[in-house]
Structure 1
Amino acid sequence: MSAEKVEYQELDGFTDVYLEDSFVLEIRATPGHLTFEVELVLTPRHPAYHPPAPGEQACYARATIQFPQVRELVWSGQGTPPAVDASGSKDYGGFDALFWNGSAFHVEGDWGVIDVSSAVPVIRLLPRT
Structure 2
Amino acid sequence: MDIFKGIDFNDLFVLGWSSNATEITFKIEASIWPDSPHYLNPKPDEYTCYRKCEIQFTDFTSYSGLSEQSSVNPSIDINGSIDYGNIDSLIITNQGFKVVGEFGNLEVINGKVQLKFTHNKLLNFVPATKSVASTGLPTLRCGSPLAMR
- Asked if Structure 1 and Structure 2 have the same fold, meaning a TM-score greater than 0.5 normalized by the shorter chain, the answer is yes
Q: 2:77 aligns with which of 75, 85, 98?
A: 85
Q: Percent identity?
A: 29
- What residue identity is the alignment partner of 1:25? L
AA of the residue aligned to 1:66: Q
Aligned-residue offset at 1:118: 3.6
Deviation of the 1:19 alpha carbon: 1.8
Q: How far has the Cα of 1:47 moved from its partner?
A: 2.3
Cα 1:57/1:112, change in 2 over 3 Å: farther
Counterpart in 1 of 2:28?
38
CA distance in structure 1 between the partners assigned to 2:118 and 2:110 by the alignment: 22
TM-score w.r.t. the length of structure 1 is: 0.78
Partner of 2:86: 94
Q: How many residues align?
A: 117
Aligned to 1:120: 112
- State which of 95, 104, 109 in structure 2 corresponds to 1:103: 95
Shift of 1:113: 1.2
String of CA shifts for 1:35-74, please: whole Å, max 9, x gaps: 0000011120222312222332321111000101122111
Offset, 1:88: 4.6
Q: Which fold has the larger relative contact order, with Cα–Cα distance below 8 Å and residues 6 or more apart in sequence?
A: 1
| Partners of 1:34 and 1:76 in 2: CA distance | 9
CA RMSD, aligned part only? Answer: 2.0
- List gaps (5 residues or longer) in structure 1: 1-10
* 1:20 match: secondary structure: helix
- Normalised by the length of structure 2, the TM-score is 0.69
